[in-house]
Amino acid sequence: MRRAGGARRRWGLAGKVLVTVVSVVVLTAAGYGWSTFRALAGSIVTSDVLSDGTTASGSPSRTITALLVGVDSRTDAQGRPLPQDVLDRMHAGPDDGQLNTDTIMLLRIPADPAKPVVAVSFPRDSYVKLAGDYGTHKINSAYGRAVTDAKRTLEAQGVTGAALQRQAQEAGRKELVATVSQLTGIVVDHYAEINLAGFVELTDAIGGVPVCLTEPVDDARYSGAVLPAGPQTLDGAEALAFVRQRHGLAAGDLDRITRQQAYMAGLAHTLLGGGRLADPATVQRLLGIVGRYVVLDQGWDLDQLVDQVRRVSASNVEFHTIPTVRSDLYTPGDGVAVQIDPATVRSFVRSTLDGLPVPPTTGTSAGATPSTAPPTAPSTATPSTARTTTPTGPAMTTRAPTTGATTRPPTTPPTTGAPTTTVRPITGATVPCVS
């Protein structure tokens, strides 16, 4: 891993999921020059996660697909331990030695500026076959399993400290990229990763992010989320709790993805409509956060990214979620997981990223469940509209439901049947109310 720099102008997709795409647009519109971009490029930590030759080549304005990852790590981008006060704000709890990816998302940035930027989320508990010899487990464990194995090897070679953490996480990144590509059939062109501590600082740096809740929540024991109902602006620690909560949500991990997408809609709305990035002091704070907490692959090209996203608007950014079979799959060694049908997911992801109609599919559990998992009844594995409502307020005036995965209470067996809702994604144009 090394810092980006040199004669070539490199740029990265940074921030929590879409923040850098949006930031580049606003910075360009606000008149920030190449020196600002070069300053950011010189501070970012880069990774050779895509050094195995799988990165697609093409013209400077070609369509690209990036894997965006939020990591629940206790170190910064350089592998240095986070201060205790930062961990306290994150409600990190005891260190159990595990390193998981709380956010996994594919982002398609089209060469045609008239087409939308499209993001597809993967529930962290999706039960999938991991790349290599790791077997079938929750997708969020791919990164951590490879890190654990790499640490054993590196420690035996005498590697210690921050170098050990950095090199082990390189293995984790490569395993996650390989697993997502294996599941979806999509070639990953670029990679961006942010530590959850960076997520907290990022939110604070822009003055908070607007969200809306249909009812109050009290999850102080787990995520730390204690929030009232209605429209509100969250600071960094509150926003992290908002997107991490699972306990008390009817669909658990699937509802958490809806929360994450609602946050990102508020983020896009704030950055594009609130004028935050017209403030040089805010920009400088963001540059520092990116340098401390963001890791990118080495291949991002500044000219290409600026050219492709300078005309992106908040209403032209869409968030989708892969279809699922059930959210209460009992597994041999991973507890309760989210069951998916790989063929259905592959078809959905390819169609959604390409802007094509998603073909109606009737998946069965056979495609998603390994022979060691308990049998389940067939299910219609199609996306459905998540629960959203229209709040009042200047930033929240248009209904924007999200494409969510099929969800059912744990006690309800899977059923068959055609979807009865019109699928529309969350966009950055509004801030939807979510449960």
Per-residue pLDDT of the chain (435 residues; tens, 9 = 90+): 544 433 333 223 333 334 544 444 444 444 454 455 555 656 678 888 997 644 444 455 678 899 999 887 777 777 778 888 777 777 766 655 567 788 899 999 888 877 888 999 999 999 999 999 999 999 999 999 999 999 999 999 999 988 898 899 899 999 999 999 999 999 999 998 888 788 888 899 888 999 999 999 999 888 889 999 999 999 999 998 998 888 888 888 888 888 988 888 888 778 766 666 667 787 778 778 878 888 888 887 655 665 666 566 666 778 899 999 999 999 999 999 999 999 999 999 999 998 887 766 543 333 323 323 333 333 333 343 344 444 444 344 333 333 333 333 333 334 333 332 334 566 656 778 888
**Residue 402 neighbours by CB under 8 Å, 6+ apart:** 258, 261, 262, 319, 320, 321, 385, 386, 388, 424, 425, 426, 432, 434
* Residues in the chain, overall count: 435
CA distance 244 to 322: 19
Q: What are the C-alpha distances in Å from 271 to residues 29, 175, 244, 339?
A: 12, 33, 22, 35
Q: Which is nearest to 205 in space by CA: 361, 19, 6?
A: 19
Q: How far apart are CA 134 and CA 178, in angstroms?
A: 12
Q: Per the structure block, which two tokens stand in for 275?
A: 């004028």
The CB-side HSE value for 16 (13 A sphere, CA atoms) comes to 30
CA 298 to chain centre: 19
Tokens of residue 108, six digits: 């398609």
Q: What is the pLDDT of residue 395?
A: 41
Q: What are the phi and psi torsion angles at 350 (to 5°)? A: -65, -45
State the Cα–Cα distance between residues 243 and 319, nearest whole angstrom: 15
Tokens 């709305």 — which residue?
A: 269
Amino acid 372: pLDDT: 33
What's the start-to-end Cα distance of the chain, in Å?
40
- What's the CA angle centered on 66, arms 48 and 328, to 5 degrees? 110
Say how far apart CA 356 and CA 352 lie, in whole Å. Answer: 6
Tokens of 213: 């809740």
CA atoms of 311 and 318, how far apart (whole Å):
15
- Using the Cα atoms of residue 250, residue 253, residue 257 and residue 262 in order, give the sign of their dihedral: positive
